[in-house]
Amino acid sequence: MSNRVLFIAGNWKMNKTATEAVEILSELKKKVAEFEGKLNIAICPTFTALDRAVKATEGSNVAIGSQDISDKASGAYTGEISAEMLLDLGVKYAIIGHSERRQYHNESSEYVSKKAKFALDAGILPIVCIGETLEEREEGKMSNVITTQLKGSLAGLSADEVVKTTIAYEPIWAIGTGKTASPAQAQEVHALIRSLLTEAYGSVTAEKVIVQYGGSVKPGNSAELMGQKDIDGALVGGASLDPAVFAELIKNAL
């Protein structure tokens, strides 16, 4: 890997109450304290747990992120969460454009880019997700899908803003299925992403961007996946819900 700092984040999705989150994070921060300075770690719990999660991890090497963010500052947008609200809690990151948001809430790449821009303007660091379905991969459309999603999701962002943005490649066919892209398959797409970033922003910028892999990452495969040239971390689902498993995953990845 280059001099990019490894970044491993956990996405809890719609799991764990605020009370459960405090219990898990209290245990997790102890287990990962030894890795301070070696990588960046974040956990993205549900909105209802964010306040207590930030307090539970205060002074530790675990940052807290949200699972979404609005592209509006405030107003009549029922159910939305603004950047100001997240910042007020001490939230550092926001996942944007996860495949489940794209699938179940019809979020387009254009909408994702608006959210990313808004987050950056406010001082929140976006984790922008892209990825193809099994059908798209089998039909040979992976490259086109990734290219279209990446360009659309980063549209309007400057080189400086892109450097602050983490890209998470999550093949939809590997999320929660137990299937994982082989290290070679994952590296192929990460290399494509890096080349698209080089084309759009130049090699200096492209070499600084963190590109995570997500899709059934676990302790048994984290070392091989993170060992690939262009894979700079992971966006972890199920394995991040267990402090011992997540800590082992991180240890193996280093």
| Catalytic residue, candidates 98, 107, 132, 190 | 98
Closest CA to 189 of 253, 144, 220, 237: 144
d(CA 217, CA 183): 11
Helix (H) or strand (E) holding 119: helix 109-122
- The 8-class DSSP code of residue 7 comes to E
CA distance linking residue 95 with residue 164, whole number of Å: 13
Nearest CA among 111, 85, 84 for reference residue 96: 111
Tokens of 195: 């080349």
Q: Are 216 and 180 in contact (CB under 8 A)?
A: yes
Residue 139 falls in the annotated catalytic set: no
Q: Which of 100, 170, 199, 248 is catalytic?
A: 170
Instruction: Count each helix (H run) and each strand (E run) in the chain, helices first.
Output: 12, 8
For the question of residue 190 being annotated catalytic, the response is no
Task: Return the active site residues.
Answer: 98, 170
